């Protein structure tokens, strides 16, 4: 029997909708008969048209006003907000560190805090963490720390909101075939003097499947977490890495 995802009656706010993963999630929700409101920092201020809104998730006032505007209009939230950070612990740049923490952790806290006040019973919030949250690795300390802290936020929010019927979960992709991953590879090549093609091949070989994660595979799991099929799943971090596991 083949199951077809059906999100009829759901209206999903996708934050970071212009990104590779955000776009895949938007397309998946629409293909499953759900409605989407797209939010992104790159949109001009104000609601430009039905289904599109500017949002800077690092600014609490922007998050608060957005959810006040959307109260009663959405059933689910998916936040793909995140910022790449590579480099060794001994080489931190304080300005960059503050920005990464603001984007990867504080912005998601703002989304969770205001989003929980906005959703109806039976609503869901899904945030994007990373497989890097599961273990530290050379060159990934700051990124791993912020993504790990995000999972702890998800677990706490899920426990706090159990009685309200709102479910909160995280998705933790491995290496995703995306422009962000290409930046990771380019930075690693500069840092190590190993060619980009060799580094790319190493990432692919690290997965038992012999390839990187496809954005659609992340979007499919997000759709499942929004759907009634996952109605008893909350406070979880679902890893999508093809079985790669810790290095």
Show which residues are catalytic: 129, 143, 147
How are strands ordered across the β-sheet holding 11-15?
Answer: 52-54, 35-40, 11-15, 76-79, 124-128, 167-173, 237-240
- For residues 28 and 40, is the Cβ–Cβ distance under 8 A? no
Q: How far is CA 190 from the centre of its chain?
A: 27
Residue 239's DSSP bridge partners are 172
Nearest CA to 138 out of 196, 86, 216 is that of 86
Q: Is 192 left (phi over 0), alpha (psi -120 to 50) or beta?
A: alpha
159 and 116 Cβ atoms separated by less than 8 Å: no
């Amino acid at each position: 029997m083949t199951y077809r995802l059906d999100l009829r009656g759901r209206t999903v706010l996708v934050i970071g909708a212009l990104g590779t993963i955000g776009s895949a999630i938007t397309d998946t929700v629409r293909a499953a008969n759900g409605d989407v409101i797209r939010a992104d920092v790159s949109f001009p201020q104000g609601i430009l048209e039905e289904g599109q809104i500017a949002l800077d998730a690092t600014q609490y006032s922007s998050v608060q006003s957005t959810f006040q505007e959307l109260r009663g209009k959405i059933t689910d939230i998916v936040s793909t907000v995140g910022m790449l950070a590579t480099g060794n612990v001994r080489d931190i740049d304080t300005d960059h560190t503050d920005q990464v923490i603001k984007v990867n952790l504080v912005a998601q806290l703002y989304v969770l805090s205001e989003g929980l006040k906005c959703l109806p019973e039976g609503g869901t919030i899904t945030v994007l963490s990373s497989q890097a949250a599961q273990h530290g690795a050379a060159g990934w300390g700051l990124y791993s720390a912020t993504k790990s802290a995000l999972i702890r936020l998800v677990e706490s929010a899920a426990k706090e909101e159990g009685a309200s019927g709102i479910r909160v979960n995280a998705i933790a992709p491995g290496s995703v075939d995306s422009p962000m991953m290409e930046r990771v590879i380019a930075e690693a090549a500069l840092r190590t003097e190993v060619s980009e093609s060799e580094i790319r091949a190493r990432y692919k070989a690290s997965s038992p499947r012999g390839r990187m994660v496809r954005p659609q595979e992340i979007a499919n799991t997000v759709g499942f977490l929004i759907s009634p099929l996952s109605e008893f799943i909350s406070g979880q971090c679902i890893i999508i890495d093809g079985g790669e596991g810790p290095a």
